[in-house]
Amino acid sequence: MTDLLEKDKDKLLTELAAAGSADKAVRVLENEVDKLLLKHNEHCESDRERESAAYMMQAVRLSLPLIDSNGAIKVWERGNGGSDEGGSFKLSFLILAILGLALCVFGFGPMFLESFMSAADNARNDVIMRGGATVVGLVCLYFAGYMYSRPKKAGKKEHQVDIKVDADKIYRSFRTILLSVDQSLEEIAAAERWSKRDQAGSIDGRTVTASELDLFSDLLAAAYSGDPEFALEKIEQIKYFLHKQQIEVVDYNSDTAKYFDLMPGVNAATIRPALVAQGGLLKKGLASTGR
């Protein structure tokens, strides 16, 4: 799989880079998985290996969304933003500041001078009045400072996050997965090679007997000879070989008709003999019934 992937590397990287999002990148990889499996099976001669490859690549296909595809992240900001440093200069601040200053001067100035010139008893009512004015002035100064220092309300902003896929990262992760698939397929192929090696010289998992080898060898010799009489002579040995295996070759007649498929013909004759073992039919014969 990885060899086939390397051939598609440049094209795959281009498609991944153009995908733009993780979902589109997954669809690109899904198409690549299908393409790799098709190419692999075209050159694979083992049915077991083809079947195993199909199951493995299906698992790869299902795991594609788990591949980390995140690359560069960009945050876009739209909208009017405000400043958090403080408020702007306002007329209300100026009026409050002048008023507060005037009240403080009005309250503290005369009291300071009169404290040296008048007796304490004569200044009590005036102290109360001017002290109250001083307090009001200080309150006005406080609110003036509060209004000036209060920050502006921030404007409404919209944020948009763009996450670009990293084509190289996706390709490396995908190739790592396929390396694991290749390793598993190679183990399956190696097991099949060992199995065929163990079965060499056997038929259906059992050792070939000497009589079977002699029969097959004689039949091949008859085929190679091109001599019809020699070939017929060797074919007659098949009956003897089957008899040794307790398999009887049965020709067609009225008593053995149950062992045959019948077809119309000019003469009643055996077209293909039936094979019977201990009275049980192994393979039906074919015969013509005649007129």
Average pLDDT over residues 121-145: 65
Q: 8: domain range? A: 2-71+164-199
Domain count, the chain: 3
Pick the most confident of 34-38, 101-105, 119-123, 128-132. 34-38
What are the phi and psi torsion angles at 284 (to 5°)?
A: -70, 150
Say yes or no: 109 and 46 in one domain: no
**Same domain, yes or no, for 95 and 224?**
no
Mean pLDDT of the chain: 76
pLDDT exceeds cutoff 50 at 10: yes
Residues 169, 189 within the same domain: yes
Of 142, 148, 151, nearest to 99 by C-alpha is 142
Q: Do 227 and 273 belong to one domain?
A: yes
The residue that leads in pLDDT, 124 or 129, is 129
Question: Residue 8: pLDDT band by 50, 70, 90 thresholds?
Answer: confident
In the chain, the percentage of residues whose pLDDT exceeds 70 is 64
Q: Does residue 75 carry a pLDDT above 70?
A: no
CA 195 to chain centre: 33
Would residue 157 count as lying in a domain?
no
Residue 180 in any domain: the answer is: yes
pLDDT, tens digit, for every residue of 156-184? 666 665 667 788 888 888 888 888 888 88
Report the range of poorest mean pLDDT among 9-18, 61-70, 75-84, 154-163.
75-84
Q: What is the pLDDT of residue 116?
A: 42
Answer yes or no: do 213 and 272 share one domain: yes
d(CA 31, CA 61): 9
Q: Is residue 45 part of a domain?
A: yes
Mean pLDDT, range 204-217, rounded to an integer: 73
| Whether residue 210 sits in one domain with residue 269 | yes
**Residue 111 pLDDT > 80:** no
Answer yes or no: is pLDDT of 264 > 60.
yes
Average pLDDT of the segment spanning 184-193: 82
Assess whether pLDDT exceeds 70 at residue 123. no
Calpha distance 248→128 (Å, rounded): 142
